[in-house]
Amino acid sequence: MRTTRLATAALTALALFTPLTASADEAPADDIAADSAGHARKDTLRGAAPKGFHIGTAVAGGGHHETMPYPDPFTSDQPYRAVLAAEFDSVSAENQMKWEYIHPERDKYNFGMADAIVKFAQRNRQVVRGHTLLWHNQNPAWLTGGTFTKDELRSILRDHIKTVVGRYRGKIQQWDVANEIFTDSGQLRTTENIWIRELGPGIIADAFRWAHEADPKAKLFFNDYNVESVNAKSNAYLALIKELKAQGVPVDGFSAQSHLSTRYGFPGDLETNLKRFSALGLETAITELDVRMDLPADGVPTAAQLAQQADYYNRTLTACLAVKGCDSFTIWGFTDKYSWVPVFFQGEGAATVMWDDFAKKPAYYALKETLAKADRR
């Protein structure tokens, strides 16, 4: 893979941004993604984006990164931080706001990294997507292995939501309140999801209500993968959200993660599907886009593979831009250096828009061009 070529972008960034200081909490001068008047540099994704349209990325840290032979990306990789600040005006915590990370013991929260991300975002005039509050995955052992009464479990979830959402009140644009609650066949995850299993499906509405009480301005989302198309899973979301809205539950949005693979083709009805949710008065979003591919034996994608990848990125963006209320478009990491894909899918990779050294792929340029041309009136 192309790990040695130092990108012009990274060099420029290094020249522009002063060195990082020791702690994630100290403010390095990497907050000059915008000029003194607050305008982003034109030659970036955020600079090219139409007004009110947020272009985001996951902030690498926690999860699979903890088993990799490199230090924490967000706090340790200075060129990474420079690109993060320069190119994006929305950030999502990849792992740092998940239960196992932020609430490692019953009576102990670990806010350090989440605080640092929110602070970084504020300095860089970025909005933040919070991820996530009710999920079947990445829950701490004290929770999944503990013995609790139903009342105790309910108050554990309520306290967690009130504490975490409340801490960042006014600072989070969108929360993925409920993540991946349906199977691909459109069934609620009644065994895997501890909350639904133990407390019943009504807990989903409660989670939204508690999040709304804790931060009335944050937009509250359902978020899932394999919901890009009209299918059993997205149909299940549509039906559930209709029901919840009719009950007055504060649901604001529906988002398609969009972990795509060139193996499976492009979900050509993405726009049609998102419009079904938009017609309910919901916001929509693309929250975790990446496009993985089967790597050739030498690990280097062919030009044709990169072109196909660029096409998938571009069509996803084009679909979102065409939907009223789809104002948030996030990629799940921007550099292959830190992508989750090779860790999970053997033989697949190169899923992001930049190489390991932050050199830009055709997918990056495709996104920028489409953003620059977008007419959202």
Interface residues with ligand G3I (CB under 6 A) are 63-64, 67, 94-95, 137-138, 225, 257, 288, 340, 343
Phi, psi of 225 (to 5 degrees): -100, 165
243 is catalytic: no
Identify the CA nearest to 170 among candidates 110, 208, 128, 112.
128
Residue 71 burial (C-beta neighbours within 10 Å; 0-12, 13-18, 19+): exposed
Q: Which of 180, 228, 271, 283 is catalytic?
A: 180
- Is 288 one of the annotated active-site residues of the chain? yes
CB half-sphere exposure, 293, CA atoms < 13 A: 26
Rounded to a whole number of angstroms, the minimum distance from the CB of residue 338 to ligand G3I is 9
In terms of CB distance, is 17 or 338 closer to ligand G3I? 338
Q: Shortest Cβ distance from residue 292 to ligand G3I (Å)?
A: 11
Is the Cβ of residue 256 or residue 371 nearer to ligand G3I in the bound state? 256
Nearer to ligand G3I, 137 or 191 (CB): 137
How far is residue 85's CA from residue 119's CA, in Å, rounded to a whole number?
12
How many Cα atoms within 13 Å fall on the side-chain side of residue 212?
A: 14
Q: Give whichever of 30 and 180 is closer to ligand G3I, judged by the CB atom.
A: 180
Question: Which residue matches tokens 């991820």?
Answer: 131
Which residue lies nearest ligand G3I, judged by its C-beta? 63
Least distance in angstroms from the C-beta of 131 to ligand G3I? 6
- DSSP states along 66-91: GGSSS--HHHH-HHHHHHHHHH-SEE
CB of 70 to ligand G3I, least distance (A): 13
Q: Rounded distance, CA 21 to CA 264, Å?
A: 44
Active site positions, annotated: 180, 288
